[in-house]
Structure 1
């Protein structure tokens, strides 16, 4: 379906996708002061380790997984934006080793700038992905806002004894990455120029379901998804939670076609630069600035970073024994 917009969709937003997340350093300072709500042994995963979702035990072999994610347009196509945002929100459940059960829409729309009828295309894209995931999509909440935003609040189910967590990494385990990087710089180029990148859209709309299931089937227990804080940022959180250091082999990290040339041309999101600024004190590297920027690139609906081997996906590094008091990442 062709939909005519008064202007390009991405022009209605200051940022785009997961690159418009609150910078990780600022987020840590705020969350570090929180004491949490009701204390209970049934709260298996909370705010303490920066995991992808909250997990609460229901009974012996069932836990509910709760998450929400939404963002401003990352592409100009309305339906593609809905598909990307939905896949990204569902990813948090898969990153915890769960299966999404039901989701509700979160929609902000500038009614005085864009006809509200156009929002139906965004919602249809979200519904398409939810259907592909076998996840019920029912209702939601909408507000009038100067910037368009869309995402989902998702409830999933998992087994308390078989979760994928940030704090379950062990030294010696390889690190597997299940989607290529470079989505941030390509989305930034798209916003600036209008050029389209079908491979990037295909990567962002791919569900992390199969990778999550394969990790669980292999007996693995540690993973996170790679989104707004980049590979280095999410890996640093995992290392801190697990009490390990990490090594990354930059030469084998996969990238979406056009990512390197887009970086060279200067299409680097502000979020990617902030990510690198945050992780730099914890990174030892002989690589150049461009390589580190790509490794810190703010991804939207990126893949899983799994501690362990996942068949069909590249091993990009490994977890090693922590050498000091603070987590360190060596990039070679």
Structure 2
């Protein structure tokens, strides 16, 4: 193996949540799979494309289980580990739970990456788990053609605090807790066109734990939550719409963006996943006449370790938004509402 440093992002065909399977392909793969039930204690399975599985224990405590892993979207090994860990833990927060422990998932191209680099990835993941107050209690590793890292995470909550993506109600307000543009920044990192200060903004949002989730779940005015990751705000919004059987109305001008996201996407910093997401979800989306392509790409931009999409009572939305911002999510914003109607997303 050469002593020359290897850019992690060049060893993967895609990076972060942008390397998810094409959503259209995923739907075909899952179409003929058996349902998870009938298990009385399985409160959330694979029926609504939710963020994690939820199993009720005998005392009303619920066990939340999830796994998430991907290939690098950055070249710094420690940062890659931090981002992947933040992203995996987010699934527990999105269900309304608090994480308990994690298991590491590691695949590395042996002979192409120095052991010291792999150790830095693991250290980065462990540092974020420590920030979340949980241990990395074990894991599994294999030799793979591309670098892969992530976590399986276990968490808990009370039954009344479980928040599915399918429980939104007509007339709810929609809040997004983090800015969009992570996929755009990832593409810019790979092309080495990220502006000064851009990397710091990128790391700040992708390593911010969505720990506000369980606090929101204790509020009865919060009806549903999901985290926005590889399918973009459009794809995960549509999953919420389909699960709840209603229409999402999103105001494009209200969507929070990373500072350079608009300029970068206009410059062509678009991921392949953004195109795949539109091909998979576009038929269920109503766009205004003349809606520009660059704005559409931001709707389908894959968000690695993105924010929570929160559906809550409209009357309580202002107070809930203020609490989210006070918790450190400065760009959290009201982005639209839900309405009775077909399972579609309407962009205004």
Category of TM-score, reference length = shorter chain: over 0.9
* Structure 1 position 215, deviation (Å): 4.5
Matching residue of 2:302: 298
Distance 1:194 1:108, change over 3 A: farther
Matching residue of 1:321: 340
Mapped contact 1:215–1:306 kept (Cα < 8 A): no
Task: Summarize the alignment of residues 187-206 of structure 1 with structure 2, pairs less than 5 Å apart.
Answer: 187-193=186-192, 195=194, 197-206=199-208
Find the aligned partners of 1:26 and 1:213 in 2 and give their Cα distance.
35
RMSD: 1.4
Find the aligned partners of 2:146 and 2:106 in 1 and give their Cα distance.
10
1:255 aligns with 2:253: no
Which runs of 5 or more residues in structure 2 are unaligned? 326-331
Runs of 4+ residues deviating >6 angstroms: none
Matching residue of 2:285: 283
Give CA deviations for 1:189-224 in whole Å, capped at 9, x if unaligned.
Answer: 101227452101110000001244234335413010
* Structure 1 position 235, deviation (Å): 0.5
Find the aligned partners of 1:19 and 1:260 in 2 and give their Cα distance.
18
Find the aligned partners of 2:33 and 2:277 in 1 and give their Cα distance.
23
Find the aligned partners of 2:97 and 2:260 in 1 and give their Cα distance.
33
Which runs of 5 or more residues in structure 1 are unaligned? none
Return 277-286 or 77-86, whichever deviates more: 277-286
Mapped contact 2:95–2:213 kept (Cα < 8 A): no
Return 125-134 or 186-195, whichever deviates more: 186-195
Output the TM-score relative to the length of structure 1.
Answer: 0.95
1:331 aligns with 2:330: no
1:34 aligns with 2:33: yes
Mapped contact 1:162–1:221 kept (Cα < 8 A): no
* Structure 1 position 315, deviation (Å): 0.6
Matching residue of 2:328: none
Matching residue of 1:54: 53
Find the aligned partners of 2:109 and 2:193 in 1 and give their Cα distance.
21
Output the TM-score relative to the length of structure 2.
Answer: 0.90
Return 190-199 or 53-62, whichever deviates more: 190-199
* Structure 1 position 58, deviation (Å): 0.7
1:213 aligns with 2:215: yes
Matching residue of 1:157: 156
Find the aligned partners of 1:234 and 1:212 in 2 and give their Cα distance.
19
Distance 1:76 1:226, change over 3 A: same
Return 235-244 or 271-280, whichever deviates more: 271-280
Find the aligned partners of 1:193 and 1:212 in 2 and give their Cα distance.
37
Mapped contact 1:53–1:66 kept (Cα < 8 A): yes
Mapped contact 1:60–1:160 kept (Cα < 8 A): no
Matching residue of 1:226: 228
* Structure 1 position 293, deviation (Å): 1.1
